[in-house]
């Protein structure tokens, strides 16, 4: 099987899950490598995502690691067998790998929930609004870099147009609605588009009004992607140096609690839509 020089986050996650399974079983790399008839270095490369796993090898390891969670094992096999080239691969070499990893994460997610406090969620942005957001980045991006990011962001919205639209929940603070990007028409058109999209069956937009006191995790843009099984959920956080991803159990528990708070504090969908339209009229 071919060696990868730059594995994606999804490929690294598969390897990390097999490593976690091995450690939970108390198995050494020598033992696991012997089961597969390979050397330790090759197994280490597989667990880091540099080399792929086959379905047969995943089943062999799961059996010998005494992993009895069949749904978890089948989800890992599905990750290993997904060979199709995603649309985001067209941007490899022209955009940072982290942006492509976000697109891949969204595409394979069973559901996505996001929280935003500074701007409208990326999957619900208009082209002009996205362009204004990227134009505000420091250090400044070149015009070409801005346009490449805008094109990629618009293509990410394919998840809503496919036969099985992505279930999507966006918790948006009222402050994000009132932040202005671009000229006066841009935010008004963006809010009109946001209200319109929130009426789609697969999209749930919930606004947290200014009147709510406190905000756990304020300042963090959070994307929580449900996997095929809960063990494969993934959190993506924005940072100054690019997106960060985690599937650690403690982090998943923490961010599930954040989302539970958002859900209890946010307005219902209809009231959220009314607030979005009222803010648009105020701009």
Residue 1 has pLDDT above 60, yes or no: no
Evaluate whether 9-81 and 87-282 have a shared fold: no
- Sheet of 244-246: strands edge to edge? 203-208, 168-173, 111-116, 222-226, 234-237, 244-246
Domain 87-282 listed as CATH 1.10.10: no
| Domain residue ranges of the chain, discontinuous segments joined by + | 9-81, 87-282
* Interval 41-67: pLDDT, tens: 999 999 999 999 999 999 999 999 999
Q: What is the pLDDT of residue 218?
A: 61
Q: How confident is the model at residue 219 (pLDDT cuts 50, 70, 90)?
A: low
Q: Coil, strand or helix: which one is 157?
A: helix
* Interval 10-41: pLDDT, tens: 999 999 999 999 999 999 999 999 999 999 99
Q: Is there a contact between 222 and 215 (Cβ–Cβ < 8 Å)?
A: no
What is the bridge-based pairing of β-strands 234-237 and 244-246? antiparallel
d(CA 158, CA 225): 16
Q: Coil, strand or helix: which one is 69?
A: coil
Percent of the chain with pLDDT over 90: 89
Q: What is the pLDDT of residue 240?
A: 76
Domain 9-81 listed as CATH 1.10.260.40: yes
Sign, Cα dihedral of 19, 24, 27, 32: negative
Instruction: Name the residue with tokens 């990629």.
Output: 152
Q: What is the pLDDT of residue 239?
A: 82
State the DSSP string of 48-94. Answer: TTSSPPPHHHHHHHHHHTT---HHHHHHHHHHHH-----GGGGGBTT
In this prediction the pTM is: 0.94
Q: What is the pLDDT of residue 276?
A: 98
């Amino acid at each position: 099987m071919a060696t990868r020089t730059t594995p994606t986050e999804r490929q690294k996650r598969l390897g990390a899950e097999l490593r976690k399974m091995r450690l939970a079983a108390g198995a050494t790399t020598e033992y696991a490598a012997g089961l597969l008839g390979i050397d330790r270095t090759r197994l280490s490369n597989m667990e880091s995502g540099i080399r792929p796993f086959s379905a047969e090898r995943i089943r062999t390891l799961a059996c010998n690691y005494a992993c009895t969670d069949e749904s978890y094992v089948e989800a890992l096999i599905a990750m290993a067998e997904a060979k199709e080239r995603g649309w985001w691969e067209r941007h490899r070499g022209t955009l940072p790998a982290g942006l492509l990893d976000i697109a891949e994460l969204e595409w394979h997610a069973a559901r996505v929930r996001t929280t935003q406090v500074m701007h409208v969620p990326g999957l619900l942005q208009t082209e002009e609004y996205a362009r204004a957001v990227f134009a505000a980045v420091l250090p400044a991006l070149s015009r070409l870099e801005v346009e490449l990011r805008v094109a990629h962001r618009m293509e990410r919205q394919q998840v809503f147009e496919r036969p099985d639209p992505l279930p999507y929940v966006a918790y948006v603070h009222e402050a994000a609605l009132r932040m202005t990007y671009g000229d006066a028409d841009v935010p008004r058109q963006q809010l009109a588009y946001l209200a319109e999209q929130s009426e789609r069956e697969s999209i749930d937009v919930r606004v947290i009004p200014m009147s709510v006191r406190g905000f756990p995790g304020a300042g963090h843009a959070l994307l929580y992607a449900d996997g095929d099984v809960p063990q494969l959920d993934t959190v993506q956080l924005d940072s100054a140096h690019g997106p960060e991803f985690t599937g650690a159990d403690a982090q998943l528990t923490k961010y599930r609690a954040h989302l539970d708070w958002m859900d209890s504090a946010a307005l219902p969908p209809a009231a959220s839509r009314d607030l979005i339209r009222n803010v648009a009229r105020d701009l």
